[in-house]
A and B are shown apart, each in its own frame.
Chain A
Amino acid sequence: MEQVVVYSMIRIEHIFGIRAGGIIRGWTDKITEINRKYATPKIKMSRGVKFALLILRVYLIILVVLLGYKFWTMLQEGVI
């Protein structure tokens, strides 16, 4: 596991340079820290909450499919 971390550190700095790599590292570390901080949802996951989140997921999937379809039709029509 440690080897993987060292390898990824080398890659970021290798690709973007020391300065830019350091900035990107700072951001990724921050995002990881945020993900850890909020890893466990604090709200009580009652049936109502679970149902609402499920509906939201379905809603978003439908919207993404519609957006994807629109993008595809625009590509077909040569608009994009």
Chain B
Amino acid sequence: MDLGSTFFYKYRRFIKALKIYLLLAGPGLIVMLADNDAGGITTYSVTGATYGYSLIWFLLLLLPVAYVVQEMTVRLGAVTKRGHAEAIFDAFGPFWGWFSFLDLTLVNWLTLITEFIGMTAAMSIFHIPPVFTIAIVTVVMLLMVLQGRYWTWEKIAIVFAVLNLIYIPAAFLVHPSVGEVIGQGFIPHFPGGLDNTLFFFLMANIGTTIAPWMIFFQQSAVVDKGMKEKDIPFGQMDTLIGSAFTVIVAIFVVIVSGTVLYGMQVDSAAQAATIMMGIDPWLGTFVAIGLFDAGFLGAICISLSSSWAFGEVFGWAHSLNFKIREAPWFYACYLFAILTAGAVVLIPEAPLVLITLFVQVVAVTLLPAALVFLILLLNNEETMGKYKNTHAQNIAGIVIVAVIIVLSTLFGISTLFPGLFGAGGGL
């Protein structure tokens, strides 16, 4: 074969693989970009305002953390054709099944409230009243699922996921010094030493990387999409690309806030956007849109993960490929979650800060269980066959899961007892 033919052959193979990937891409990309939800953006914004670029290197470590955990859900979903809630019931019995399911329902609902808080705060910057924001968001979220096809929902969700990248052009607006970003951000160090405040921030950043709903969402999405064992490599690639994007977005959020807000007292992403609006309206607009989109992405994924879990456990039809009349309970759960979470945000003087903090505490009751079950299920040769975890995957998985459990638990406890680590707000 001559050089031209070889090149053409390789080009055709690449294009074919790319087409298959684009067909199969979705759950990994969406879940990872939705990981940068309203709470995540707030964490990164406050991190940037407090430590400048100094913790960018730490965010890079979150890529393998996110990938190793979420990749396991791809294999589990593709091989067992079951969502995580159903898999826990089946493998560990009713006690752990109900515990995980009820805890997930509570954590998801509370997290959904925080997403609505983020969205309404972002739109308030444009003087849009919260009631109007919630009404529009509810209608759009309903229209997204009611069209009756998983594929269409996924492609719309990817559009919103791509909008999450708005922080990249926002970073170009603030003209950061590339030398400073590389010099301060990419060389591992602990600015000012590993004191209590820094430890709190490290815990918060790890804590926001993996949330219980992500595990349940991606596994159910893989099942709903109909991915098979042969699609696992594409699902893994999808998850890897998603993990890279989630870290890139996190880094750019830190760059933006680290450039503009470094040294300022910032408590939330909405406050950061408001300050930036005063500095440069374009920058403020970008950041506010980013915050709204982050909340929206989180909301669509979280509400779906709850609905899927309900369907799996109660044996109802639970697929986005069904029409309302075919899966009424599935859509009823979805609508109920959105309406009640939105309504809480609209209650005058509702304890929204308390709810935001409470989410972190409740999440640590579920996250360790969900992660441990994930590792155990991936080691079950009877169901996983040749797709079970290898020794290397187990070592990586166990180390990462142990680190996540320890740090997220300490983060949750520090929220309960704020004086413990000397920083951060608490209940």
Contacts and interface: CB of A to CB of B under 8 A. Distances in A.
Interface string A28-54: 001000110011111110001100110
A59 B89 contact: no
Nearest to A63: B365
B97 A38 contact: yes
A60 B365 contact: yes
Contact of B416 (A34, A40, A66): A66
Given A56-B368, A56-B372, A66-B413, A43 B89 contact: no
A38 B380 contact: no
Nearest to B99: A60
Interface string B342-384: 0000000000000000000100110011001001110010110
Task: Tell me if A's interface is mostly helix, strand, loop or mixed.
Answer: helix
A39 B427 CA distance: 38
A70 interface: yes
A70 B372 contact: no
Contacts, number: 58
Contact of B93 (A38, A44, A70): A38
Contacts of B315: 34
Interface residues of B, number: 30
A48 B378 CA distance: 13
B380 A56 contact: no
Contact of B91 (A43, A56, A59): A43
Interface in B104-136: none
Nearest to A49: B376
A38 B82 CA distance: 14
B313 interface: yes
B312 to A, nearest CB: 11
A67 to B, nearest CB: 7
A3 to B, nearest CB: 26
B314 A43 contact: no
Contacts of A74: 427
B94 interface: yes
A60 B413 CA distance: 13
Interface of B: 89-94, 96-97, 99, 313-315, 361, 364-365, 368-369, 372, 375-377, 380, 382-383, 409, 412-413, 416-417, 427
Given A38-B97, A56-B369, A70-B427, 11 more contacts: A30-B314, A39-B94, A40-B93, A41-B93, A43-B377, A44-B382, A49-B376, A52-B372, A63-B409, A66-B416, A67-B361
14 contacts: A34-B313, A34-B314, A35-B94, A39-B93, A40-B93, A43-B91, A49-B376, A53-B96, A56-B369, A63-B364, A66-B413, A66-B416, A67-B361, A70-B417
Interface of A: 30, 34-35, 38-44, 48-49, 52-53, 55-56, 59-60, 63, 66-67, 70, 74
